[in-house]
Amino acid sequence: MSNLIASQKVMQHYLSALLTEEEPAAPTAEVAIAEQKKQQLNELLAQAVVTEAVTETVAKTKVVTSPAAETNAMAALKAKFAEAEASQALQQRAVPVSERIISTVSQPAPPPPPTVTAAPTKDYRQGRFQALFFDVAGLKVAVPLKELGGIHQLGTINSLIGKPQWFKGVMLYREQKISIVDTARWVMPEKYDQSLQQKLNYQYVIMLGNSNWGLCCETLVNTYVLEQDDVKWREAEGKRPWMAGLIKKHMCVLLDVDAMIDLLNRGLDISA
């Protein structure tokens, strides 16, 4: 723009110089000056033309390239949007609506934490209870009457192979097969020797609950009524599970019948 103004000024100056009448004293100098100014004018005009051409080219380039860039940006944005829609549609087609609803609704709930149920309280742990006392090799043992399955005379015993040493064999009683336990060997394995074995005189079988297990005993002592305070109850679980407690007055072991049946079923003795 400044070049255009300068060229206009030169043109005005040149025209004014041409229109100015000067004295014809030195025609040669005037011609030289005129030629010089004409050359300068041509150079300025040439620069002005080149500048305008460059400006016009830049303007055209801006006009042409700006819409192209905008078009390319819009095209890229539309392409990304179309790609996102296509991906979402593909996912929806891959899993039908019914399956999506079913999978959402029928998700299994996490299992509840296991509940720890306390062991049922024995009937004889409330108030007074009766217990049968019997003797085995000088050891007095008691069984709660509510867990006593019966009392039988010891009869013929049929031995079985492959059983623990404390398992004497099977005794038949009215079509019932009773598994006979050598009580002294089971309760006092560390004291059981040949001498003790020869002294034993088993006479009766004490049945444990509703099971087929029977304990050999030598003498039936008596039945006593006990208070809860008469027994020092076993509090710790796991240690001597077959023993419910110790009857202090009689220095007698009170059997936990259910625990003893479980040990016998698993082939275990007092050392378990």
pLDDT at residue 117, as a whole number: 45
Res 20 pLDDT > 60: no
Q: What is the pLDDT of residue 104?
A: 46
* Integer CA distances (angstroms), 223 to 100, 102, 109, 145, in order: 72, 67, 55, 9
- pLDDT band at residue 123 using 50, 70 and 90 as cut-offs: confident
Stretch 87-92: mean pLDDT, rounded?
56
Owner of token pair 């940006």: 73
pLDDT of the residue at 269: 84
Band (245; pLDDT cuts 50, 70, 90): very high
**CA-based diameter of the chain, in Å?**
176
Which class for 251: exposed (0-12), middle (13-18), buried (19 or more C-beta within 10 A)? exposed
pLDDT of residue 1: 54
Q: What are the distances in angstroms from CA 49 to CA 7, 44, 87, 144, 193?
A: 11, 9, 57, 128, 135
Q: Which residues pair with 223 in a beta bridge?
A: 132
C-beta atoms surrounding 164 within 10 Å? 13
Q: Is the pLDDT of residue 16 over 50?
A: no
pLDDT at 38: 65
Per the model's pLDDT, the better-predicted residue between 173 and 74 turns out to be 173
Average pLDDT, the chain: 76
Question: How high is the pLDDT of residue 64?
Answer: 42
**Where is 52: in which H helix or E strand?**
helix 27-94
Q: What is the pLDDT of residue 270?
A: 81
Give dist(CA 136, CA 78) in Å, integer. Answer: 98
Residue range 221-232: average pLDDT?
96
Dihedral pair phi/psi, residue 190, rounded to 5°? -75, -20
Cβ–Cβ < 8 Å for 160, 167? yes
Give which of 166, 118, 151 is closest to 222, Cα–Cα. 151
pLDDT value, residue 122: 85
Q: Does position 203 have pLDDT exceeding 90, yes or no? A: yes
Confidence at residue 42, expressed as pLDDT on a 0 to 100 scale? 66
Residues 49-64 have a mean pLDDT of 45
Q: Count of CB atoms within 10 A of residue 239's CB?
A: 8
- Name which of 236, 229, 203 is nearest 217 in CA terms: 203
Number of H helices, E strands in the chain: 6, 11
Q: What is the mean pLDDT of residues 179-195?
A: 95
Mean pLDDT of 49-69: 48
Tokens of 240: 């001597």
- Compute the average pLDDT of residues 182-191: 94
